[in-house]
């Protein structure tokens, strides 16, 4: 049993996925995925474009309905998860949702209210995340005028600000400049240290290796193995794993 497994066996389970399947056509979809994330754990999901990362996350969040398998968040099946438990989830899937005619501060206030942050704490919650992600100069700028990278920062801010117990982030470093990547890295480490479980997808192996406790590789909708974040030449390991899986699937 390695250090990560020992940690996971002694901490609360934030996410448990068992046999999750959704087929869109022959060989297209997500097939029999098992995945567990404990409090304090950052779990990275890596794969080539089209490997099934976003589909898996959408299934976990009930944006898509599985044909088989189960998803539990903090011990409760998502099919019967009450609204108050969904408030403990933060998410960013594909493009951030922002109201284009509203400024950054108002967008974040609305997001906080939708996650039932107490009204007396909304202003301080928004101020705190604006400071943390270095959005102060943009707080009064309408979302439609933001660059793609700053839109992404605001989307990340909306996912993080209500102190969720589980974070699910799909390619969150997309369009971020180096400063934004560093801020995100520090923010995720901070949430994990406070007990959140984090599932983050990426195709930037070097970046996720800096923060992940575990890296799972997905290919053609199946988890095909893991890579140690502390390993050497992890990019070579990744491509070797994917290439080997592709060869086996074509035999």
- The predicted-structure confidence for 29-50, as pLDDT tens digits, reads as follows 999 999 999 999 999 999 999 9
pLDDT score at 9: 57
pLDDT score at 180: 95
Pair 158, 111: CB distance under 8 Å: yes
- 132 and 235 housed in the same domain: no
> Does the pLDDT at position 194 exceed 90?
yes
Residue whose structure tokens are 């049993």: 1
Among 163, 181, 201, the domain-final residue is 163
Among 163, 179, 200, the domain-final residue is 163
pLDDT score at 158: 97
Q: If you average pLDDT over residues 133-154, what whole number do you get? A: 97
pLDDT > 70 in the chain, percent: 95
- 67 and 21 housed in the same domain: yes
- 176 and 73 housed in the same domain: yes
CATH of residue 236's domain is 3.40.50.300
> Does the pLDDT at position 100 exceed 70?
yes
Q: Is 133 helix (H, G, I), strand (E, B) or coil?
A: coil
Among 163, 181, 197, the domain-final residue is 163
- 73 and 15 housed in the same domain: yes
> Does the pLDDT at position 112 exceed 90?
yes
Q: CA 68 to CA 23: how far, in whole Å?
A: 10
> Does the pLDDT at position 6 exceed 60?
no
Q: pLDDT class for 85, splitting at 50, 70, 90? A: confident
Task: Give, as one character, the DSSP assignment of residue 210.
Answer: T
- 81 and 171 housed in the same domain: yes
- 197 and 75 housed in the same domain: yes
CA contacts within 13 A on the Cβ side of 181:
14
**13's tokens:** 């389970």
- 212 and 244 housed in the same domain: yes
More confident residue, 162 or 250: 162
> Does the pLDDT at position 5 exceed 80?
no
- 106 and 208 housed in the same domain: no
- 108 and 224 housed in the same domain: no
- 124 and 83 housed in the same domain: no
> Does the pLDDT at position 211 exceed 70?
yes
User: How big is the chain, counted in residues?
Assistant: 251
Residue 108 belongs to what domain range?
Answer: 97-163
Q: If you average pLDDT over residues 181-186, what whole number do you get? A: 96
- 121 and 212 housed in the same domain: no
Between strands 28-38 and 13-25, the pairing is antiparallel
Q: Is 192 helix (H, G, I), strand (E, B) or coil?
A: helix
Q: What is the number of structural domains in the chain?
A: 2
Residue whose structure tokens are 């309905």: 65
Q: If you average pLDDT over residues 80-99, what whole number do you get? A: 90
> Does the pLDDT at position 10 exceed 90?
no
Q: Is 94 helix (H, G, I), strand (E, B) or coil?
A: coil
Q: If you average pLDDT over residues 198-206, what whole number do you get? A: 91
> Does the pLDDT at position 227 exceed 60?
yes
Residue whose structure tokens are 């009064």: 140
- 233 and 222 housed in the same domain: yes
Task: Give, as one character, the DSSP assignment of residue 96.
Answer: P
């Amino acid at each position: 049993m390695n250090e990560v497994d020992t940690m996971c066996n002694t901490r609360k389970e934030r996410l448990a996925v068992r046999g999750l399947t959704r087929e869109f056509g022959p060989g297209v979809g997500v097939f029999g995925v098992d995945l567990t994330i404990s409090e304090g754990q950052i779990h990275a999901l890596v794969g080539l474009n089209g490997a099934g990362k976003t589909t898996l996350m959408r299934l976990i969040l009930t944006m898509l309905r599985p044909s088989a398998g189960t998803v539990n968040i903090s011990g409760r099946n998502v099919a019967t998860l009450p609204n108050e438990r969904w408030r403990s989830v933060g998410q960013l899937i594909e493009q951030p949702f922002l109201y284009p005619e509203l400024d950054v501060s108002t967008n974040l206030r609305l997001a906080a209210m939708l996650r039932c942050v107490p009204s007396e704490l909304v202003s301080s919650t928004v101020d705190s995340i604006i400071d943390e992600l270095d959005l102060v100069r943009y707080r009064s700028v309408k979302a439609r005028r933001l660059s793609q990278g700053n839109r992404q920062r605001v989307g990340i801010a909306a996912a993080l600000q209500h102190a969720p117990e589980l974070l699910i982030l799909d390619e969150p470093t997309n369009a971020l400049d180096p400063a934004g990547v560093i801020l995100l890295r520090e923010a995720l480490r901070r949430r994990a240290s406070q007990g959140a479980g984090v599932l983050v997808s990426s195709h930037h192996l070097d970046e996720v290796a800096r923060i992940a406790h575990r890296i799972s590789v997905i290919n053609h909708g199946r988890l095909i193995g893991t890579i140690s974040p502390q390993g050497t030449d992890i990019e070579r390991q990744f491509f070797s794993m994917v290439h080997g899986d592709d060869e086996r699937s074509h035999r």
